[in-house]
Chain A
Amino acid sequence: MLTYIVRRLFAAVGLLLVVTLITFWIFYVLPMWAGQTPESLAAAYVGKQQNPAALHAVIDRIGFDKPLFVQYFDYVTGIVGGRTYSDGVQLIRCNAPCFGYSFKNYEQVWPTLLNRAPITLSIAIGAGVLWLVFGVLSGVISAVRKGTLADRASMGIALAGVALPVYFVGPLLEALTGQWSTVYVSFLDNPLQWASHLLIPWIALAFGYAALYTRLTRAGMLEALNEDFVRTARAKGLSERKVLYKHALRSAISPIITIFGMDLGAVLGGAVLLEVAFSLPGLGELAITSIHQGDFPVVMGVTLLAAFFIVLANIVVDVLYAVVDPRVRLS
């Protein structure tokens, strides 16, 4: 099992390397193919004073004139070992992991990401717990009370949850709750305020996911309840509650855990729509503003971080799956 995890981690590093290559290609190589020159790229960084000297200073500092593979090599070694930039006045040491330097905001990318990450992390954790608990719960109730009013109601709400986008549910909830503040407060400063301020964004994000999980759980439970081993559990004389929760749910829950890991990984990379809807300065919001500003180093940084979370989630899910289902356990 341990060697399996180590092997997966090595594979993950390789995968992330491929991701850097592709993002680099998108942000540096594609523009060249599309007719951009080092000068036109640099122009975006110079601002209003478009004199050749300033342009060349930028080209020199960022290295737009170097061969592409050298630029890529510099980028990757920067992530591993850090690198040094110059903004024309002084040298800027960018420590590892160095994801580049934003000449738009005169900030290093990595600290920017670190500033934004707690907000996205807070959103993901709170919403994840909400959607998992409520999704599975209502799914089980739906399956057990199939065809009853409770089932119909929960399936109706789930349909709404799947159909309504977060940028509709979010403002709706805000309107309904009036003056309820959604300004981010750090967990370390005030855990109570942290939770109460994030409650509405959590609900807004969790609603859609919970709807999906309700349907998944219901389908899984209905299938499990028809399994022979559930009949065996009843034949042993177990109480109906034990039959449902120990036998049927145990078998229905493993695919849900898998999907949960993947979804959580995706949200960790930035809940773009939610963050924009609630003006929460998380990673998703950072990605959007950076795209608008043409701040490529930051966009690349966010993209890589999101890719990292998804790759990590994949590994965690695979390991978890082996824990939950002994049939996939490696000997």
Chain B
Amino acid sequence: MTGRHSRPDQPADEYEFEHEARGERAVARRAGARHAAVETVPQPVTTRPVPIRNPVPNTMIEDYYSTGFNSSQAFLDVRDLRVYFPTEDGLVKSVDGVSFQVERGRTLGIVGESGSGKSVTSLSLLGLHKRPDKRGRGGARIAGEIWLDGEELVGASEEKIQALRGDKMAIVFQDPLSAMHPMYTVGDQIAEAYLVHNQVSKAAARTRAIEMLDRVGIPQPNARVDDYPHQFSGGMRQRAMIAMSLVCNPQLLIADEPTTALDVTVQAQILDLMRDLQREFNSALIIITHDLGVVAELADDIMVMYAGRAVEYGPAGSVFTAPEHPYTWGLLGSMPRLDRAVQERLLPIPGNPPSLINVPSGCAFHSRCTFAELTGGSCDDEVPELLDAGRRHLVRCHLGAEHRRRLFADRIAPHL
């Protein structure tokens, strides 16, 4: 670990306690604590509609969901999300049955290597995948459910999603140089995002843009608001991008590799900024990254993805200090650390990421897994299920929980 993450592995109840201690608003908004909120917080209570399942029961919802840790519905609740892309070479199963929850004020880190389905997941939350045309050709095939604050989004109309996009949910893209329009000023682009969802004058939107630039730490926002993106430095562009995403105070913010294009010092500033802003707006945050250091900084929960599926999902402290999936071990082992001798070699994960058209049979990771033979053959013909290994730490592995912990303690931990 990059060394800064120090959250101890907490028992479940302590964890819950900390969760609720984030202030009354967080408590009020938590579905589970709604009754308490009505009594203590004098604010209008939005009646949360009872989630209506799809008329066709989704039998693909995996077992763990029904035995999941949140009996009431979370602010963002993704259930068995599947995103397939038909191509000439075959069906690309970019995301194949992913479920997760994020509450307001909490942060989920989604980790995985390129092509594991992280970005595809995030784009599908905002409905940014191309829809198939009238004849059903092209585009993305999306199945499953995405519940945002009680509203289902997968089956929602384009108009409805469009109204939510940028307003209730927003995204920060990586590489802001290409993600911002080169021919409009930074201020215009931020103001535009505000004007779509707010009936205000252009002057008011401009004032708001200056305010946001100031908030994300751009010096002289009054002057810089009229600059074009190419006149900003990389870090400033990413700040402006964040300002653009936050201009409507979204309650769900997705950051897709927000620091990949930045150098390390700027990365730290951007991460601090995102943490501050998240606290300020009490929004649910999803950080998508291949950089474990980033999630160590920010995340409350971590989901490790491999070949379109979650292989490990649980509280950040637990995933970092007691990882249970061999792939997570591999990720941790391949991460450089400041507190280790330079001579010590990093441990690479052997092999290459699998093709998403012909996903390996059984556990998608079995061909690269050092421990696959220990299960006596079930790894290569039986897909393991994502099961709770205790304390809402879910792992998708055929090895028994005890066996995994022993392996980690004996063979992995000494090398980390």
List A residues at the B interface (Cβ < 8 Å). 147, 227-229, 231-239, 247, 250-251, 254, 324-327
Contacts of B126 in A (CB 8 A): 235
A247 touches B181 (CB 8 A): yes
The answer to whether B181 and A236 touch across the interface, beta carbons within 8 angstroms, is no
Pairs A–B under 8 Å by Cβ, sample size 26: A228-B173, A228-B175, A229-B180, A231-B128, A231-B173, A231-B179, A232-B179, A232-B180, A235-B128, A235-B166, A235-B170, A235-B171, A236-B165, A236-B192, A236-B196, A237-B162, A237-B193, A238-B162, A239-B162, A250-B181, A250-B184, A251-B182, A325-B183, A326-B183, A326-B185, A327-B182
Additional A-B contact list (10), CB under 8 Å, known A236-B193, A237-B197 = A234-B165, A235-B128, A236-B166, A236-B192, A236-B244, A237-B163, A247-B181, A325-B183, A326-B183, A327-B228
- Bound CA span A185–B244, Å: 56
- What 0/1 pattern do residues 73 to 91 of B give for CB contact below 8 A with A? 0000000000000000000
B301 interfacial by beta-carbon distance below 8 Å: no
Do residues B182 and A228 form an inter-chain contact, with CB atoms below 8 A?
no
Which residues from chain A contact B162 at a C-beta distance below 8 Å? 237-239
A164 to B411, CA, bound (A): 75
Q: Report A-chain residues with C-beta under 8 Å of the C-beta of B133.
A: 147
Q: Is B257 an interface residue (CB 8 A)?
A: no
Q: What is the bound-complex CA distance between A228 and B170, given in angstroms?
A: 15
Q: Taking CB as reference atom, which chain A residue is nearest B181?
A: A229
Q: Does B230 contact A (CB under 8 A)?
A: yes
Q: In the bound complex, how far is the Cα of B162 from the Cα of A236, in angstroms?
A: 8
Q: A239-B162, A326-B228 are in contact. Are A233 and B181 (CB under 8 A)?
A: yes
Distance in angstroms between the alpha carbons of A24 and B185 in the assembled complex: 49
Instruction: Kindly list chain B residues whose C-beta atoms are within 8 Å of the C-beta of A232.
Output: 173, 179-181, 244
Once the chains are docked, how many angstroms separate the CA of A235 from the CA of B165? 6
A250 to B183, CA, bound (A): 8
Interface string of B121-132 (1 = CB under 8 A from A): 000001010000
Please name the residue on chain B nearest to A253 by beta carbon: B183
Specify the chain A residue showing the minimal Cβ separation from B165.
A237
Residue B167 at the chain A interface, CB threshold 8 Å: yes
Chain A CB within 8 A of B178 CB: yes
Q: Is the CB of A227 within 8 A of B178?
A: yes
Whether a CB of chain A sits under 8 angstroms from the CB of B31 is no
Q: In angstroms, how far is the closest chain B Cβ from the Cβ of A124?
A: 28
Contact between chains at A237 and B228 (CB < 8 Å): no
B residues with CB within 8 A of A: 126, 128, 133, 162-167, 170-171, 173, 175, 178-185, 192-193, 196-197, 228, 230, 244-245
How far does the alpha carbon of A325 sit from the alpha carbon of B165 in the complex, in Å? 28
CB–CB A326/B179 < 8 A: no
Q: What distance in Å separates the Cβ of B119 from its nearest Cβ neighbour in chain A? A: 11
CA distance A227 to B178 in the complex (A): 7
Q: How far is the CA of A327 from the CA of B171 in the complex (A)?
A: 26
| Chain A residue with the shortest CB-CB distance to B245 | A235
Given A237-B162, A238-B196: A251 and B183 interface contact (C-beta under 8 Å) = yes
CA of A251 to CA of B182, assembled, Å: 8
Kindly list chain B residues whose C-beta atoms are within 8 Å of the C-beta of A237: 162-167, 193, 196-197
CB proximity of A213 to chain B, nearest CB, Å = 20
User: CB-CB < 8 A to B181: which residues of A?
Assistant: 229, 232-233, 247, 250-251
Q: Please give the distance in Å from B390's CB to the nearest CB on chain A.
A: 38
Tell me which residues across on chain B come within 8 A of A239, comparing CB atoms.
162
Complex Cα distance, B181 from A292, in Å, reads 54
Alpha-carbon gap, A250 to B126, bound state (A) = 24
Chain A, residue nearest B194 (CB):
A236
Give the residues in chain A near B196, CB-CB below 8 Å.
236-238
**Nearest Cβ on chain B to A322's Cβ, whole angstroms:** 12
Q: Give, as a whole number of angstroms, the nearest-CB distance from A254 to chain B.
A: 8
Question: Cα distance A23–B184 when bound, in Å?
Answer: 45
Shortest Cβ gap from A243 to chain B (Å): 10
Q: Are B244 and A229 in contact (CB under 8 A)?
A: no
A-B pairs, 3 with minimum CB distance:
A237-B166, A237-B165, A236-B166
Taking a contact as CB atoms under 8 Å apart, the answer to whether A234 and B179 are in contact is no
B179: chain A residues at CB < 8 Å are 228-229, 231-232
Enumerate chain B residues within 8 angstroms of A233, measured Cβ to Cβ: 181
For B163, the closest partner residue in chain A by CB is: A237
Residue in A234, A235, A247, A327 whose beta carbon sits within 8 Å of that of B230 in the complex: A327
Q: In the assembly, what is the distance between CA of A231 and CA of B228, in Å?
A: 18
B128 with A234: CB separation less than 8 A: yes
**A235 contact set on B, CB distance < 8 A:** 126, 128, 165-166, 170-171, 173, 245
Question: How far does the alpha carbon of A324 sit from the alpha carbon of B213 in the complex, in Å?
Answer: 25
CB of A238 within 8 A of CB of B167, answer: no
Query: B171 contacts which chain A residues (CB < 8 A)?
Result: 235
Determine how close the nearest CB of chain A comes to the CB of B229; give it in whole angstroms.
9
Complex CA–CA separation, A231 to B182 (angstroms): 14
Query: CB-CB < 8 A to A236: which residues of B?
Result: 165-166, 192-193, 196, 244
Report the separation of the CA atoms of residues A232 and B126 in the bound assembly, to the nearest whole angstrom. Answer: 11
Q: Which residue of B lies closest to A250 (CB)?
A: B183
Bound-state CA distance A326–B186 (Å) is: 12
Chain A residues positioned under 8 Å from B165 (CB to CB): 234-237
How distant is A164 from chain B, measured CB to nearest CB, in Å? 32
Residues of chain A contacted by B192 (CB below 8 angstroms): 236, 238
Which residues of B are found within 8 Å of A228, using beta-carbon distances? 173, 175, 178-179
CB distance from A283 to the nearest CB of B (A): 36
Q: Contact: B182 with A229, CB < 8 Å? A: yes
